[in-house]
Chain A
Amino acid sequence: MSERSRATGCRDRSLKPFGWTGWKARAFSGQRSSRSRLFSCALLCVLLIGIANPMSVNAAPALEHEGASLSRADIEEESKPVRSSFVRILTLQDHTTRTVLLGTMLLGMSSGIVGTFMLLRRQALVGDVVSHSALPGVAIAFLIGEMVSPGEGRSLTWLLVGAAVAGLLAVASTSLITKFSRIKPDAALATVLGVFFGFGAVLFKVVQEIPSGNRAGLQHFILGSASTMTSGDVSLILKASAVVLIACFLVFKELSILCFDEDFASTQGWPVTWMDFALMGLVVAVTVIGLQSVGILMVALLITPPTAARFWTESLSRMTLIAAGIGGASALAGTAASATIPNLAGGPTIVLAGSMFFLISLLFGTKSGLIGRWVQRSRTEHRVGRDHLLRAMFEVIEARLGSEETLELDQLKTEAVSLGELTRRRSWSGLRVSRLLNRAFTDGDVSLDPTGAWRLSATGARVACRAVRNHRLWEIFLIRSADIAPSHVDRDADFIEHVLTPEVIEELEGLLARKDPRVIPPSPHPIPPVEAR
C-alpha cells in the first residue's frame, strides 16, 4: 500500500479507534471510491453536453439537406486529395465530423460496458444472435414503410424499431427453446441465428427487387458504414448510446450481483428474471443502434473490448472503464479510417481496430498477459537452474571433504569443482551444465580459473547454503511427518525447495527444532562422493 493510504489510515484511526486489523484497507477503499464517483459524475456531464451539442448542430441550416455528413462521396466529388481529408477529420474541422465521431465513440463505449456484463454473465454469443436476427426486422420495417408511404421507407427510427423487435424475438425464442425442450443453449443460439439470418437474407433479396424506393443504405446494415449516415441518424445514435450509458451507470451494482451470483441475488429479493431481461434489452439496444455504423459484426464490438480489458485489471469497475475506453477508441479509429480511405467498410474496420487492442492486451496485459507470463516462467526457470547448480557444487564439495561438521563459507569458496564432477553428480548433460555455469558466471555466482576449475563466489556460496538447507529441511520434514522413504525424498524436495517462502521455512524450523540459520543439516540420505577425473 502507498504512503498516502497509510496516512489516511492513521487519520481515520484517530477518529474511530477500531480494534480490528482491516481498518487500513477499508479507509483506503472509501477514499478511492469517492474519487471514482466524482470521475463518473464528470463523465456523465460530458455525455449530457454531448447529447445537447449535436442537436444544436442539426438546427444549423447548412446541414439540413439530406445526406449532409462527412462522407467520402462528398470528398471525392470535390476531388480533394485523401491526405487533406484525413487532416480535416483528424483536426475535427467540421461539425458533422465531430458528430459522427462522437456518435460512434459513444456507441463503442456503451457496447464495451454492456459487453462486460454479457461476458461475465457467460452470454457472449447472445449479441451475435441479436445482430444477425435484426436483419429480417430491418427488411420488414422497410417493406411496411414502403407500403404505408412509398419512397419514405428508409426512416432510421422505424428500421431500428424493426431491428429491435426482431432481436428481442430471437433472444426470447432462444430462451424458450432452452427452457421447454431438451436442446442445449449453444444449439438453441445457433439454430435461432440461422433461421433469422436466413430469413433476413431472403427478405433483403425481395427489397432489392422493389422497383422504386429509397433503399440506398439498407445494405449498410450488413457491413456497416458510418460515412453514409445522415446527421439525423447520428443524433439518434448519440441519444440512444447516452441513454444506454446512463442506464448502465445507474444499475452497475445490480448488474454485478446478477452476473456474479444469480441464486444469491434472487434470495436477496432482486427480481433476477427481470434484471436479466433488462440486460438483454441493453444488449439489443446497443446492437441495434450499432447496426448502421458497424453492421452485424456488432458482436465483436460488444465482446472484444471486455475480453481485452480483463488482461489489465482484477476489478469490475476498472474493467468496465477500460472496456469502455477500448470500445470507444476502436470505434473512433475504425470510423476515422473508413471515412478517409476509400472503399473501406466501416464495421470491419472498427472490429479490426478492436482486435488490435485485444492482441496488444493478450500479449502485454499486466494480468496474465502472454508476455508477462512468459517472463515470469523464464525467471522461475532461471532461479531453479541456479539453485540446482549451486546445490550440486555444494554437494560435490561436501562429499569430497567428507566432514561431519557444517561447511564453512570459506571452505566452499576455496574448493574447485570441475565440469565432469557436476555432470556425474546430477546426471546432467555436459551442454546443460556448461550453460548453467555460464549463466552463473554472468550472475557472479562462480568464477573460473585458467585450469578449468570452477569456484563459488561469496554470493554463490551463500545461495548454495540456502538452497541446500531448504532442500534438506523439506526432506527431513517429508521423512518425519509424511512417512516417505529417505531414498524417495530427494526428487520430491527438488520441486518444492524453490517455492518455499520464508514463512514456511520458519514453520519448518519450528517443527524440526532447527533455529540456527547457519547450520545446514546433514543430508538424510547418502550422497555418494564423486571422484575427480
Chain B
Amino acid sequence: MSADSKAAASTEPAGVSPQVEPDEHPRSSPMSIHDMTVAYHRRPVLWDIDYNTPPGNLIAIVGPNGAGKSTLIKAVLNLVPTVSGQVSFFGEPYKKQRRRVGYVPQRSSVDWDFPVNALEVVTMGLYRSIGWFRPVTKKHRQAAMAALDRVGMADYAKRQISQLSGGQQQRVFLARALAQEADLYLMDEPFAGVDAATERAIVAVLRELKDAGRTAMVVHHDLQTVQEYFDEVVLLNMRLIASGPVGDVFTEENLRATYGGKLALLDRVGHRMTLSGGRQ
C-alpha cells in the first residue's frame, strides 16, 4: 500500500479535504481504506484493513468462507458499522460520492417472489437520479432497457423476476448497477452459482468497464479464473494478506497464507473478545 499511496500523494496537491489526510486518501484512488476494523456482534471479522484501489483495474477479492469478503464491501458502503478506520471514495467520504459507486449485492439478499419484473428492478438503479416524488418516465425506462441489453437480458424485460433462472437474476442485478453509470463497482459474488452464459456476459461487462476506464472490485471464489478475469487481487482472511497485480501476488505462498490455518489465533482472540464484551 505504502508505495502506491506515496506515488499518488506526490502527484496530488495537498489538502484535498479537511477531514482526511491527503497522503492517506489520494484522490486518484477510486477507493481507499485506512485502518478499518469491523465487528459483527462485537466479534471482529476484519482487522486493520489498509488498501488503496488502483484506478481502471478489475480487482478480485479472494479468501476462504468467513474471511470477511462480503463484510469488507458492506463496511465500506456503510451497510455494517465499522469499529474504526476511514474509507474514502475518489478522495472524499462515501456520502459525497455515492453516485460514482455502484453496488451489486449477493443474489440471495432479496426476496425474488417480489411482484416486479426485470425492467422495474433495473429502473430502481435510477430512482435516486429521478429523485423524490417524481415518476419514472419513458426516458428512464429506455436507459434501464439499455442496461438490460448490455447484460443480454433485453428479451426478458417483462418477465416476473421469480421466473428467471439464477444466472438471469444475477444479470438483472448487474444491469441495475450499470444503469447508475458509476465509476467504481463493488460486486458481491456475482459468479456464484451462475450458468456459463451468465459468466460470459458478466466477464464481457467487466472488460467493457475496464475499457471505459472504470474500476470493479469483485468478490470471487473461483481461484482457477482469477488470473484470466482480473488484473489485481486482494487476498483476505480477516486481515489483508496481500494485494497487488495478479502476477505478483497470486502466488502459492500467499494463497497458503490466506487459506491455511495460520489465522486460528486471530479467530480465537476474536472469540475471547466476544465473551468479554468486545472492543466497542
A264 touches B149 (CB 8 A): no
| CB of B32 to closest CB in A, whole Å | 18
With a cutoff of 8 Å between Cβ atoms, the chain A residues found around residue B133 in the complex are 250-251
Cβ of B141 < 8 Å from any Cβ of A?
yes
- Please tell me which one of the listed residues A26, A268, A313 contacts residue B145 in the complex, with CB atoms under 8 A apart: A26
B155 touches A257 (CB 8 A): no
A158 and B180 CA atoms in complex are apart in Å by 47
Binds A, one of B52-60, B118-126, B214-222: B118-126
> Provided the pairs A260-B110, A267-B103, A269-B98 are in contact, do residues A29 and B119 lie with their beta carbons within 8 angstroms?
yes
| CB of A307 to closest CB in B, whole Å | 12
A37 and B132 CA atoms in complex are apart in Å by 17
Cβ of B160 < 8 Å from any Cβ of A?
yes
Cβ of B262 < 8 Å from any Cβ of A?
no
A6 and B115 CA atoms in complex are apart in Å by 25
The size of the chain A interface, using a CB distance under 8 A, is: 36
With a cutoff of 8 Å between Cβ atoms, the chain B residues found around residue A310 in the complex are 115
Cβ of A86 < 8 Å from any Cβ of B?
no
A261 touches B124 (CB 8 A): yes
Total number of A-B contacts with CB less than 8 angstroms?
A: 108
A47 and B27 CA atoms in complex are apart in Å by 52
| CB of A359 to closest CB in B, whole Å | 21
A260 and B116 CA atoms in complex are apart in Å by 9
Interface of A is mostly: helix
| CB of B156 to closest CB in A, whole Å | 9
A254 and B136 CA atoms in complex are apart in Å by 11
Cβ-closest chain B residue relative to A320: B115
| CB of B157 to closest CB in A, whole Å | 5
| CB of B204 to closest CB in A, whole Å | 15
Cβ of B117 < 8 Å from any Cβ of A?
yes
| CB of B86 to closest CB in A, whole Å | 18
Cβ of B135 < 8 Å from any Cβ of A?
yes
> Provided the pairs A120-B114, A256-B116, A315-B115 are in contact, do residues A261 and B109 lie with their beta carbons within 8 angstroms?
yes
Cβ of A440 < 8 Å from any Cβ of B?
no
Task: Bits for A1-34, please: 1 = Cβ < 8 Å to B, else 0.
Answer: 0000000000000000000111101100110011
Interface residues of A in 281-329 (CB under 8 A from B): 310, 313-316, 319
Cβ-closest chain B residue relative to A313: B115
Cβ of B105 < 8 Å from any Cβ of A?
yes
Interface residues of B in 74-100 (CB under 8 A from A): 74, 77-79, 95, 98-99
With a cutoff of 8 Å between Cβ atoms, the chain A residues found around residue B103 in the complex are 263-264, 267
A265 and B105 CA atoms in complex are apart in Å by 11
Cβ of B256 < 8 Å from any Cβ of A?
no
A269 touches B157 (CB 8 A): no
A316 and B161 CA atoms in complex are apart in Å by 12
Cβ of B25 < 8 Å from any Cβ of A?
no
B98 touches A26 (CB 8 A): no
With a cutoff of 8 Å between Cβ atoms, the chain A residues found around residue B176 in the complex are 264
B155 touches A263 (CB 8 A): no
- Please tell me which one of the listed residues B78, B116, B127 contacts residue A254 in the complex, with CB atoms under 8 A apart: B127
A264 and B78 CA atoms in complex are apart in Å by 11
| CB of A336 to closest CB in B, whole Å | 31
| CB of A450 to closest CB in B, whole Å | 51
Cβ of A266 < 8 Å from any Cβ of B?
yes
B119 touches A25 (CB 8 A): yes
Cβ of A253 < 8 Å from any Cβ of B?
yes
> Provided the pairs A21-B155, A26-B157, A254-B127 are in contact, do residues A319 and B105 lie with their beta carbons within 8 angstroms?
no
Interface residues of A (CB under 8 A from B): 20-23, 25-26, 29-30, 33-34, 37, 120, 122, 250-251, 253-254, 256-257, 259-261, 263-270, 310, 313-316, 319
Known: A20-B146, A26-B157, A29-B158. 15 other contacts (CB 8 A): A21-B149, A22-B149, A26-B145, A29-B157, A253-B127, A260-B116, A261-B105, A261-B109, A261-B124, A263-B74, A263-B105, A263-B109, A269-B95, A270-B128, A310-B115
23 A–B contacts from the bound complex (CB under 8 Å):
A22-B155, A25-B145, A26-B119, A26-B145, A30-B138, A33-B135, A251-B133, A253-B130, A254-B127, A254-B132, A256-B116, A256-B124, A260-B114, A260-B116, A260-B121, A260-B124, A264-B124, A266-B79, A267-B79, A269-B128, A270-B127, A316-B114, A319-B115
